[in-house]
């Protein structure tokens, strides 16, 4: 871990992985958290049943670059836009918000309209998610 003379070490990208809503299945979220760690991300995992306020609070205190929402309950059309709204209302304008889980194709366009940057369905490779985050996360000034 030695940086050469004058070489800049880029700070790791910080990602919050959160499970909104009432479903208790966080295997996917945990696999993603581990995969992102192996890709060099700093991952903060919040656990199950998070309200939009809890997610926004955590994102604010942790000053994350990306919020990744995993949702399997079917309540995504209600919850995800509310989470985006709550985060944006705290003036976190440059935080990338993405989602994954069971989300029907028909819902993808309205969710993107609501501010979810990208949606990763079942079977998405973690490498692709990592690449997306690297390309789209804010750059620190």
The single residue among 77, 92, 102, 114 that binds another protein, judged by CB under 8 A, is 92
Dist CA 42 CA 21 (whole Å):
24
Q: Which two tokens stand for residue 12?
A: 């790791």
The residues pairing with 50 across neighbouring beta strands, listed in sequence order, are: 20
Binding segment (CB under 8 A) for another protein, from list 50-58, 77-85, 101-109, 119-127: 50-58
Nearer to another protein, 19 or 76 (CB): 19
Q: How many residues bind another protein (CB under 8 A)?
A: 37
By CB under 8 A, the residues from 51 to 70 that bind another protein are: 51, 53-54, 57-58, 60-63
Rounded to 5°, angle at Cα 13 from 90 and 81: 35
Dist CA 47 CA 42 (whole Å):
16
Q: Does 34 bind another protein (CB under 8 A)?
A: yes
Dist CA 77 CA 24 (whole Å):
18
Q: Which two tokens stand for residue 95?
A: 């935080």
Residues within the interface to another protein (CB under 8 A): 1-6, 11-12, 14, 33-34, 36-47, 50-51, 53-54, 57-58, 60-63, 90-92, 140
């Amino acid at each position: 871990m030695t940086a050469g003379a004058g070489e800049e070490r880029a700070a790791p990208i910080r990602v919050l992985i959160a499970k909104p809503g009432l479903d208790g299945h966080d295997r996917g979220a945990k696999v993603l958290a581990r995969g992102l760690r192996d890709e060099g991300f700093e991952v903060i995992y919040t656990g199950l049943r998070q309200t939009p306020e809890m997610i926004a609070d955590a994102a604010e205190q942790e000053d994350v670059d990306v919020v990744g929402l995993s949702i399997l309950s079917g309540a995504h059309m209600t919850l995800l836009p509310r989470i985006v709204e709550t985060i944006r209302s705290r003036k976190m304008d440059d935080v990338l918000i993405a989602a994954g889980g069971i989300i029907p194709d028909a819902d993808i366009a309205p969710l993107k309209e609501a501010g979810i940057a990208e949606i990763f369905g079942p079977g998405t490779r973690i490498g692709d998610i990592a690449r997306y985050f690297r390309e789209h996360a804010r750059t620190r000034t």
